[in-house]
Chain A
């Protein structure tokens, strides 16, 4: 089982950090004078997340020079067929403009092969949360008449800056309708990012991409999901994609264990209330019944964590964390062909050729990477 293609592909998977940064809002910079149209902003933000994910993949796979050069050649082919990279310097809404600026700062760091500092990591987390907040508030239950492109599902939030918005409350009022088949959503995001010709070209080179990778690199990409900054989990030396279930999830379980029994009903209600909000973005189209199922699964895991002795909890915490994460995520099996396509997608994002160029330069440089 693995994360489904929608969650993998959708650059708007921001629920990860959504509630986490609910309070962390910088003073809003002045909005740009005449923002680009909503669709263009939406496409640019989706592109940036996928582009940064691509940079993290390229940096995290420890590619050899030969691999990087061969992938660069294929990336150029896809790029030639794909929709041009969205304009990233156009005026944006205040909230998305700030997000965009942070992402571009991350981009410069990743392209230079430099470490992402703690300060930038934190800033990127806040940006991701802000982007997720916009995404969540943009989801519509009923598409506007004659809507095309991204606007079929995402309409611009009414407020010009939603970084301080309480999305947990807003989520239920503006939930996406479940009528879109997942395949259609998947294709909409892909065609939106690559264009139809680019998507076809990507599918055409996918097996060539696959042949360049080692089994270990494929394994990294198999569990890869979108990430703005590379993961930093000392327990896992793989620095690409997001960890399956890290210490932070375990920390939530520890908190739950420390709540006295008399306060547990309140704590449980608070915890489960947040789950509904997260599902709106993480699993668009989730029905109320499905949300209830997820809440029940989470409650079961948390109750088990609370019931265990401390020794048993320490022995089971990683499994419990995986169960907790798994309850929220939409996991599916992918066919081999889907696996191959998805791997290629992460490595062939328009703009990837520049990332491979940068890597080849570093490998050829004075640091003398011996790969």
Chain B
């Protein structure tokens, strides 16, 4: 603990003694879930298969799970020939965050949202910034005890939050819980937003999207080679997912974490920028995120500033109107600039909005309408 000195070094030992043996296995306050919170509910998007197996149709992995087997995502399991969703009502993270953290730069800027995440992911990104939760299953993380969807929504409304963001891990592997909570939030006047790796099959993704107003898709790299070697997936399903989100009429922003030496070469970035401009439209915001050494790529340096700025230049040269630099501040590329007159209309310091000059979504200087969800 940086300021009070009771949270590290000797402190934890004392706390552990005080908490007693039953509580002593806390380790990051995320000991295995023994709270009994949450219930495994029947999963969506699966079919019975021969011999008591279950064919999961949720994502491109299209796994066939034998009885007792858990999916690659760790969030779905074949129990007696039926696929069940392990993450239902078992979030491991609840946070009040700025909406900008999702990242979303064109959605209710400067407001706070309730961020929700459950454990599990169907990718294996070596650089995952949230691997402690994403690379474990719901039964391996400590869930929020006593969690109820109604309680969470009520708490968010009572505190004046404007939305509910499903982020940090992969919400797509718990569509039963995520879509249900998102719909409840929407019905109470909150704006549900989704941040996903987009590695989902079309049907399930379309159904998942229904209650959402805004989506961020992490477009991790340009090639199958990158996706296969670093993320454990393929790029085509992600491209299809982004196109589908756009086709469904949802507000879409794209995020790319630039990992030094892995996906930050100019040809790859040009290809990604060109694809976004061509397939999603030049008004699609693109967030270029600074990598912080994490997980299995902790040996790499953070993304150099020069790389981020060069990548931004590539995005702008490709015709994209809104290219942001994230995870690095202060920087001019944290701001939103009017694409017509070039003036800064939303000024940010990292995730914090310092000034929002938009008037009804329009530039106060030239009256240009900027795309986004502004109210």
- Report the minimal beta-carbon distance from B131 to chain A, rounded to whole angstroms: 12
Complex: A215 Cα to B347 Cα, angstroms: 9
Check: B145 CB closer than 8 A to any chain A CB: yes
Contacts of B310 in A (CB 8 A): 370
Binary contact readout B1-14 vs A (1 if CB under 8 angstroms, 0 otherwise):
11111111111101
Check: A137 CB closer than 8 A to any chain B CB: no
Q: Which of B11, B326, B328, B334: most chain A Cβ within 10 A?
A: B11
- Report the minimal beta-carbon distance from B157 to chain A, rounded to whole angstroms: 11
Check: B351 CB closer than 8 A to any chain A CB: yes
Report whether A217 and B330 are in contact in the complex, using a CB–CB cutoff of 8 Å: yes
Contacts of B349 in A (CB 8 A): 216, 219-220, 238
Q: Which of A90-98, A198-206, A265-273 contacts B (4 or more CB under 8 A)?
A: A265-273
Report whether A311 and B305 are in contact in the complex, using a CB–CB cutoff of 8 Å: no
Check: A251 CB closer than 8 A to any chain B CB: yes
The listed residue (B1, B144, B332) touching A20 by CB distance below 8 A is B1
Report whether A238 and B329 are in contact in the complex, using a CB–CB cutoff of 8 Å: yes
Check: B205 CB closer than 8 A to any chain A CB: no
Complex: A288 Cα to B16 Cα, angstroms: 30
Report whether B305 and A22 are in contact in the complex, using a CB–CB cutoff of 8 Å: no
Binary contact readout A332-371 vs B (1 if CB under 8 angstroms, 0 otherwise):
0000000000000000000000000000000000011111
Complex: A242 Cα to B129 Cα, angstroms: 21
Interface positions of B from 335 to 371, Cβ below 8 Å from A? 347-352, 354-355
Contacts of B350 in A (CB 8 A): 236-238
Check: A278 CB closer than 8 A to any chain B CB: yes
Q: A219-B354, A370-B306 are in contact. Are A237 and B155 (CB under 8 A)?
A: no
Complex: A259 Cα to B349 Cα, angstroms: 38
Q: A216-B347, A238-B349 are in contact. Are A19 and B18 (CB under 8 A)?
A: no
Check: B281 CB closer than 8 A to any chain A CB: no
Check: B309 CB closer than 8 A to any chain A CB: yes
- Report the minimal beta-carbon distance from B19 to chain A, rounded to whole angstroms: 5
Report whether A20 and B155 are in contact in the complex, using a CB–CB cutoff of 8 Å: no
Check: A123 CB closer than 8 A to any chain B CB: no
- Report the minimal beta-carbon distance from A23 to chain B, rounded to whole angstroms: 5
Report whether B330 and A219 are in contact in the complex, using a CB–CB cutoff of 8 Å: yes
Q: A62-B328, A310-B146, A314-B94 are in contact. Are A255 and B15 (CB under 8 A)?
A: yes
Binary contact readout A251-292 vs B (1 if CB under 8 angstroms, 0 otherwise):
110110011100100110011001100100000000000000
Check: A61 CB closer than 8 A to any chain B CB: yes
Report whether B4 and A328 are in contact in the complex, using a CB–CB cutoff of 8 Å: yes
Contacts of B15 in A (CB 8 A): 255, 258-259, 267
Report whether A251 and B146 are in contact in the complex, using a CB–CB cutoff of 8 Å: no
Report whether A278 and B4 are in contact in the complex, using a CB–CB cutoff of 8 Å: yes
Complex: A286 Cα to B5 Cα, angstroms: 18
The number of chain B residues with a CB under 8 A from chain A is 64
Q: A371-B305, A371-B309 are in contact. Are A315 and B114 (CB under 8 A)?
A: yes
Report whether B327 and A237 are in contact in the complex, using a CB–CB cutoff of 8 Å: yes
- Report the minimal beta-carbon distance from B233 to chain A, rounded to whole angstroms: 23
Complex: A144 Cα to B123 Cα, angstroms: 67
The listed residue (B9, B145, B159, B304) touching A310 by CB distance below 8 A is B145
Report whether A258 and B26 are in contact in the complex, using a CB–CB cutoff of 8 Å: yes
Report whether B7 and A248 are in contact in the complex, using a CB–CB cutoff of 8 Å: yes
Complex: A243 Cα to B232 Cα, angstroms: 35
Report whether B9 and A311 are in contact in the complex, using a CB–CB cutoff of 8 Å: no
Contacts of A238 in B (CB 8 A): 329-330, 349-350
Report whether A248 and B8 are in contact in the complex, using a CB–CB cutoff of 8 Å: yes
Residue of B nearest to A18 (CB): B5
Contacts of A20 in B (CB 8 A): 1-2, 5-11
Contacts of B374 in A (CB 8 A): none
Q: A252-B1, A266-B18, A325-B3 are in contact. Are A19 and B11 (CB under 8 A)?
A: yes
Q: A266-B18, A371-B305 are in contact. Are A310 and B1 (CB under 8 A)?
A: no
Complex: A19 Cα to B15 Cα, angstroms: 14
- Report the minimal beta-carbon distance from A281 to chain B, rounded to whole angstroms: 10
Interface positions of A from 22 to 41, Cβ below 8 Å from B? 22-24
Report whether B5 and A19 are in contact in the complex, using a CB–CB cutoff of 8 Å: yes
Interface majority SS (helix, strand, loop, mixed), chain A: helix
Q: A62-B331, A260-B19 are in contact. Are A237 and B8 (CB under 8 A)?
A: no
Residue of A nearest to B154 (CB): A311
Residue of A nearest to B312 (CB): A370
Residue of B nearest to A312 (CB): B155
Complex: A39 Cα to B61 Cα, angstroms: 68
The listed residue (B1, B19, B334) touching A249 by CB distance below 8 A is B1
- Report the minimal beta-carbon distance from B257 to chain A, rounded to whole angstroms: 12
- Report the minimal beta-carbon distance from A26 to chain B, rounded to whole angstroms: 13
Contacts of A61 in B (CB 8 A): 330
Q: Which of B2, B144, B145, B305: most chain A Cβ within 10 A?
A: B2
Check: B301 CB closer than 8 A to any chain A CB: yes
Check: A300 CB closer than 8 A to any chain B CB: no
Check: B96 CB closer than 8 A to any chain A CB: yes
- Report the minimal beta-carbon distance from B344 to chain A, rounded to whole angstroms: 10
Check: A234 CB closer than 8 A to any chain B CB: yes
Residue of A nearest to B94 (CB): A314
Check: A172 CB closer than 8 A to any chain B CB: no
Check: B147 CB closer than 8 A to any chain A CB: yes
Contacts of B8 in A (CB 8 A): 20-21, 248
Report whether B20 and A310 are in contact in the complex, using a CB–CB cutoff of 8 Å: no
Contacts of A21 in B (CB 8 A): 5, 8-9
Check: A69 CB closer than 8 A to any chain B CB: no
Residue of A nearest to B327 (CB): A237
Contacts of B347 in A (CB 8 A): 215-216
Check: B290 CB closer than 8 A to any chain A CB: yes
Check: A309 CB closer than 8 A to any chain B CB: yes
- Report the minimal beta-carbon distance from B9 to chain A, rounded to whole angstroms: 5
Complex: A324 Cα to B329 Cα, angstroms: 26
- Report the minimal beta-carbon distance from A191 to chain B, rounded to whole angstroms: 27
Complex: A357 Cα to B151 Cα, angstroms: 55
- Report the minimal beta-carbon distance from B109 to chain A, rounded to whole angstroms: 15
Q: A258-B19, A310-B146 are in contact. Are A252 and B2 (CB under 8 A)?
A: no
Q: List 27 A-B contacts (CB under 8 A).
A: A19-B4, A20-B2, A20-B6, A20-B9, A21-B9, A23-B10, A62-B330, A215-B347, A238-B349, A243-B2, A248-B2, A249-B4, A252-B11, A255-B15, A258-B19, A263-B20, A266-B18, A271-B6, A274-B6, A310-B145, A311-B144, A311-B147, A311-B148, A311-B155, A312-B155, A370-B306, A371-B309
State the 7 A-B residue pairs at the shortest beta-carbon distance, nearest first: A19-B5, A216-B330, A314-B94, A20-B5, A255-B15, A248-B1, A237-B350
Other A-B pairs, 5, CB within 8 Å; known A19-B4, A242-B3, A255-B18 = A16-B2, A219-B354, A255-B11, A267-B15, A370-B310
